[in-house]
Amino acid sequence: MKSEFSRDLGRAITHINRIRKRYMAGRLAEYGLGGALYMYMLAIGGNEGASQDFLVCRFCADKGNVARAVKKLEDMGYLRREADPEDRRQNRLFLTERGKELMPIIGGYLAEWGDLLTKDMDEEELKAAHEIFRKLEENAKAATEAVKKA
């Protein structure tokens, strides 16, 4: 049962994530925000001055992919980079005014997605799902840490 659950859960999470990406890409197409770009913007918006390494850790992403995404967001005028005065090898990331203007739009589409995803679920089901996913995430992090130490 557990092996089936693990396979089915992985499949469901993957499918939900892919569908969310398509949904958000369609909603944000006019702004040029495909893939994870809007997620990087949200992370930077909530952590002004964060480094690219912060994004790498936050999203378990490849450094090269993050660097390319940051460059693209910079080229589109949504964020700016500043060299860290304490460590010139690090860049600090900040949303531009143009980027800040998109935050409520992105948030609105994510709220819309959440409403669509949880349609027909009552408060009890939402709480139970939240608790289950919190435990799954906790276990996944612990398993990853155990592998790192081995």
- For the cut 70, the answer to whether the pLDDT of residue 33 exceeds it is yes
Res. 65 pLDDT band, cuts 50 70 90: very high
Determine the CATH number of domain 2-119.
Answer: 1.10.10.10
Residue 144's pLDDT is 85
**Comparison of pLDDT for 135 and 7, the residue scoring more:** 135
- For the cut 90, the answer to whether the pLDDT of residue 60 exceeds it is no
Q: How far apart are CA 139 and CA 127, in angstroms?
A: 18
* Dihedral (Cα; 20, 23, 27, 32), 10-degree rounding: 70
pTM here is 0.84
Q: How far apart are CA 52 and CA 39, in angstroms?
A: 13
Q: How far apart are CA 113 and CA 119, in angstroms?
A: 10
Res. 5 pLDDT band, cuts 50 70 90: confident
- For the cut 70, the answer to whether the pLDDT of residue 150 exceeds it is no
Distant-in-sequence, close-in-space partners of 84: CB < 8 Å, separation ≥ 6: 51, 90, 91, 92
Q: Which of 113, 47, 35, 104 is nearest to 76 (CA)?
A: 35
- For the cut 90, the answer to whether the pLDDT of residue 87 exceeds it is no
Query: What six digits make up the tokens of 5?
Result: 């659950």
Query: What six digits make up the tokens of 108?
Result: 């609105």
Q: Are 99 and 45 in contact (CB under 8 A)?
A: yes
pLDDT in tens, 89-136: 888 999 999 999 999 999 999 999 999 999 999 999 999 999 999 999
Going by the DSSP 8-state scheme, the letter that residue 47 receives in this structure is S
Q: Where are the domains of the chain?
A: 2-119, 121-150
Residue in the block written with tokens 């002004």: 48
- For the cut 80, the answer to whether the pLDDT of residue 36 exceeds it is yes
Q: Are 79 and 44 in contact (CB under 8 A)?
A: yes
The overall average pLDDT reported for the chain is: 92
Residue 41: Cβ within 10 Å count: 24
- For the cut 80, the answer to whether the pLDDT of residue 1 exceeds it is no
Res. 85 pLDDT band, cuts 50 70 90: confident
In this structure, of 1-5, 42-46, 109-113, the range with the lowest mean pLDDT score is 1-5
